Amino acid sequence: MKLHRLASAAAGLALALPAAALVTVDAPYLYEGAPLPVARLTLENAAGQQAICSGSPIADGRWLLTAAHCLKDTYQNRNWFAQSAVVEIFGSTPYTAQVDDSAWQWHSGWTGSILGGHDIALIRLPSAAPLSFTIDRSGLGDPWIGTTTPLSVLVAGYGIGGQGGQDEAAYPEGMLRVGGNHYDAFGTIPGSTYLFDFDDGSSDRNALGLPGYSQVPGYPPSYDLVDWDFDGHHAWAEAMLAPGDSGGPTLVEMFIVAGVHSYQMWDPADADRELNSSFGEIGVDTRVAYFASWIDQVTMAPVPEAPSLALMLAGLTGIVALRRQRRARGRQAGAELA
């Protein structure tokens, strides 16, 4: 799918993408009765400025998967460099951890600009989160992307709610929201991104030209129920990204992370031609399967435990002391020979 029709793109913490018009979860850690351990990430830079992002605990809860632009963002001359972060996961067993920039690692291909791709990062947690996701290593559903039977996914994040002209007062960031959608196409960066649009059921707002639902032969169309205006009445439609959802997961079968929210774009199909998560916009996810080997390489690398580190330091101290003793004896022997 070529993106020459797309008029604008944005990411980062201020616009910060992702997840618009997502449904608010009544119990912030449950979705359809099951725990959904999506993390809220409160980041702070050297000037004390804060931003909200989202993330997914993986690797037995020892690491947090998120977007690189949450940590370092230079797109459109931004200069955001996070220095510390508070990671929170809400649920029956709440989890909170504070980390600094020594704990995170973004992909070596990340330049600071979302349009260059590689918008993926990992944060090593000081203690394991009680629940975690697994990652998509094979590209689940990829053969059906771009067809009338696209991969159904669950989009989640702690971003702003609402549809178009988001009302931050009524639907602030910081609360977990989820909604259904489908991966419609691959992005222009070969293999590394997924695209999904924000359909309202009309052809005018169908940016990527697919039906906006999963059509399986012999079965009725499978739409997703979304409460767009939060009035308690659900409509058959899709969910989109909004500011604060950056780094959050797109899930397959509820517990497999297939994508990481990167940014959103507006298209000529956009209802108001503004980047505000209105119908017709397009969301972009970093494709986890493309980076699975890098994720495994980082998360499976051995990390010295505290006791081992203490013994290693003690050993180094002993070696230094032994060398000093030998030098002193050598000087003494030299003086006696003279």
**In angstroms, what is the C-alpha Rg of the chain?**
24
Neighbouring C-beta atoms of residue 103, cutoff 10 Å? 18
- pLDDT the model gives residue 263: 92
Give the DSSP letter string of 223-244: -EEE-TTSSS--EEE-----TT
Q: Rounded to 5 degrees, what are φ and ψ at 114?
A: -60, -30
Q: Which residues contact 156 (CB under 8 A, 6 or more apart)?
A: 19, 22, 31, 36, 38, 54, 176, 177, 178, 245, 248, 249, 250, 251
* Cβ neighbours of residue 205 closer than 8 Å, sequence gap 6 or more: 198, 199, 269, 270, 271, 279, 280
What pLDDT shows up at residue 272?
Answer: 72
Q: Per-residue pLDDT tens for 286-315?
A: 999 999 999 999 999 875 554 444 444 444
As given in the structure block, the two tokens for residue 11 are 């990411």
CA end-to-end span of the chain: 84
Are the beta carbons of 131 and 57 closer than 8 angstroms?
yes
Tokens of 128: 């394991």
The answer to pTM > 0.85 is no
Q: What percent of the chain has pLDDT over 70?
A: 65
- pLDDT at position 268, please? 66
Give the C-alpha separation, 151 to 287, whole Å. Answer: 13
pLDDT score recorded for residue 128: 97
Say how far apart CA 7 and CA 278 lie, in whole Å.
15
Q: Which pLDDT score, from 0 to 100, does residue 161 have?
A: 73
Parts of the chain with a pLDDT under 50: 1-29, 223, 228-230, 306-324, 326-338
The enclosing H or E element of 91 equals none
For residue 281 the two structure tokens come to 């916009």
Element spanning 286, H or E: strand 282-287
Residue 126: what pLDDT?
98
pLDDT for the residue numbered 149: 77
- DSSP code for 322: H
Please report which helix (H) or strand (E) contains residue 50, including its range. Answer: strand 50-58
Q: How far apart are CA 106 and CA 63, in angstroms?
A: 13
Tens digit of each residue's pLDDT (9 = 90 or more) over 253-287: 889 999 999 998 867 667 777 777 777 788 999 99
